[in-house]
Structure 1
Amino acid sequence: MIALIAHDQQKPLLLQFVREHRELFAAHDLVATGSTGRLLADELELDIERVAHGPAGGDLIIGGRVAEGKILAVFFFRDPLTAQPHEPDVSALMRVCDVHSIPLATNSATALAVVEWLKLNAAGRSQQAE
């Protein structure tokens, strides 16, 4: 399962990124915080499990799933300059991802690296199945 979160100002960037890599994201189970998930589902017609909005603890729900071993990668497009007080903080999610060695992309450059890692990971699983 891949997790998707974005601060308000970064939602268009995440939407564009997922659009550009739609085939990869469509091949995975997806979970997202409330409004991010709604945006991605509405705009890209992806099947996305939506948890609570960020301010209501959606990022914590995703963090719990990371701890349970249910998340393969997290894409949290955060706004480092103008994040609003109601938006989720990446610190706790970063900590749990680090503890469990789960890749966490916080911008489009690291997201691209994680996409490439996911492709390699999928290729490795395909070769093991043969």
Structure 2
Amino acid sequence: MADRSQNAPLRLALVAHDAKKDALVSWVQAHARDLTKAELFATGTTGGRILDLLPDLNLTRLKSGPLGGDQQLGAMICEGRLDGLFFFIDPMSPMPHDVDVKALSRLAIVYDLPFANSPSTADFVLRGLIADHTAG
């Protein structure tokens, strides 16, 4: 997890492939109470869809994933500016920017960043991050 002040909000990244955007938006809506306390970053379209539904979230929209948003998140991981990555990946669809997806996944692993790829995993990761944040 990133180094930061104990009083600072959790900093979380939200990304989803096209076929998984609905699932991520639904997951964010279900966890809105906890996520209102976090500083959120999302790639372009995903962030727009979330803000359309939940405009009061503290969410910064980055570029679309294939247009540089994945790299923006990668830089944030390298700089220790994120506490968790929620990337809902669609394993059944072709990925035109597969190298970007692999690079982002690789960075999350290299920097030991909590990383969730599905709603059930995201539930556990978020609970763990919140517990760690409040205990610390």
Q: Per the alignment, do residues 78 and 119 of structure 1 end up closer, same or farther by CA in structure 2, a change over 3 Å counting?
A: same
**Normalization by structure 2: what TM-score?**
0.85
**Pairing 1:65–2:71 present:** no
Is the partner of 2:70 in helix, strand or coil? helix
Answer yes or no: is the 8 Å Cα contact 1:72–1:103 preserved in 2.
yes
The Cα of 1:3 is off from its aligned counterpart by: 0.3
RMSD value, Cα = 1.5
**Aligned residue in 2 for 1:19:** 29
Query: Residues 81-107 of structure 1: CA distance to partner in whole angstroms, max 9, x if unpaired?
Result: 014425774311111111111011111
**Aligned residue in 2 for 1:128:** none
Query: Residues 107-130 of structure 1: CA distance to partner in whole angstroms, max 9, x if unpaired?
Result: 1121111111112112213xxxxx
**Pairing 1:101–2:112 present:** yes
CA distance in 1, matches of 2:115, 2:80: 14
CA distance in 2, matches of 1:57, 1:88: 12
Answer yes or no: is the 8 Å Cα contact 2:20–2:88 preserved in 1.
yes
Give me the identity figure in percent.
Answer: 37
Answer yes or no: is the 8 Å Cα contact 1:3–1:32 preserved in 2.
yes
Equivalent pairs counted in the alignment come to: 125
1:28 to 38, 50, 53: 38
CA distance in 1, matches of 2:69, 2:35: 20
Runs of at least 4 residues off by over 2 Å: 86-90
Which stretches in structure 1 are left out of the alignment for 5+ residues?
126-130
Which stretches in structure 2 are left out of the alignment for 5+ residues?
1-10
CA distance in 2, matches of 1:8, 1:52: 15
CA distance in 1, matches of 2:99, 2:20: 13
